[in-house]
A and B are shown apart, each in its own frame.
Chain A
Amino acid sequence: MLMDFRLSEDWDEDFADLASVEETDLRYYVAPGDVMLRSGQTDLSANWGWIPLIDFALALVEIADALSAAEGSETFEFTESEAILQFDRVGEEVTITSSYAPGEIRAPLPEFRNQVDEFARRLDKALSQKHPELELNPEYQRLKLFRSR
């Protein structure tokens, strides 16, 4: 399973001071991009350019936490559309489906957990390098995009 991101190049980075923007800004407006999510022939990527990547990473960490704790289902709602990603854990396997593309991705729970954590770690690193002022933002620090930071 591949889970990755691509930061959008045409983001209006001057809209606000990244050192002081609030949580909602971080989760809806800052750092938009694409999400790549595929395995074998199944491609559930969302190459829409506008997905707020901080929000996506935070939500997936929460979903991974919930599914690691117990079997069940979790739904990720995209911020700007009715599209969803559905995550179902049965036994030690997680199945991912979407409302916008056919097919399903199956992955062992530890692999899913690892992919989510790696996604968040890489995003945190990329944002810290590209926008060091985020390190000064107390809301960004509080959100703990990458938990072992």
Chain B
Amino acid sequence: MKSRQFRRVILVSRILILILVAGWGISMAAGQVAAGDTHQQVTLNQWAIRHIQQRHWPDSPAAGAGKFAPGITEESLRDMIYEAVANGRSRENTHGRSGEIYEYDFGRPIGTTINGGPASRLRVVINTRRQVVTAFPF
């Protein structure tokens, strides 16, 4: 009798574990979709990457423009832009420029300002087709 009850407990435990694992898997999948959706919010094309590299890469000679910290890569740039757009504050672009501006404070240095001081914020400019126009630390 006790043996039958023990088997029943084991069976119920296995079912509960299966339900928990399945639920965790579903929630993880849902999280990935949400992240994917966030990434879908903006596109970053090669021209924009080239523009950002010319103005804002650590070795860029462009004066008067914020610079990313050494070690930045195309992939980490994408990640930072996606994070800024997903979590940053947005506002309309100014003085007749179409599109939006997103600004996000990473809470850690991501580059330098035009004065050479540490910059923790990223400004991302998006056009009306949700394409990245430029992005730079400030």
Contact = CB atoms under 8 A, between A and B. Distances in A.
Interface residues of A, number: 27
A75 interface: yes
Contacts of B115: 100
Interface in A54-87: 55, 58-59, 62-63, 74-83
Contacts of A78: 64
Nearest to A60: B95
B47 A46 contact: no
A138 B69 CA distance: 39
A81 B134 contact: no
A62 B95 contact: yes
Given A28-B125, A81-B138, A83-B114, A75 B64 contact: no
A4 interface: no
* Chain A binding surface, main DSSP class: mixed
A146 B98 CA distance: 19
A81 B127 contact: no
B64 A48 contact: yes
A4 to B, nearest CB: 17
B81 interface: no
A48 B62 contact: yes
Q: Which of B56, B97, B136 has the most CB of A within 10 A?
A: B97
A115 to B, nearest CB: 17
A15 B50 CA distance: 11
Interface in A77-127: 77-83, 100
B134 A79 contact: yes
A81 B64 contact: yes
B63 interface: yes
A82 B56 CA distance: 13
Contacts of A48: 62-65
B89 to A, nearest CB: 15
A46 B64 contact: yes
A100 B77 CA distance: 26
Contacts of B123: 82
B70 interface: no
Interface of A: 15, 23-24, 27-29, 46-50, 55, 58-59, 62-63, 74-83, 100
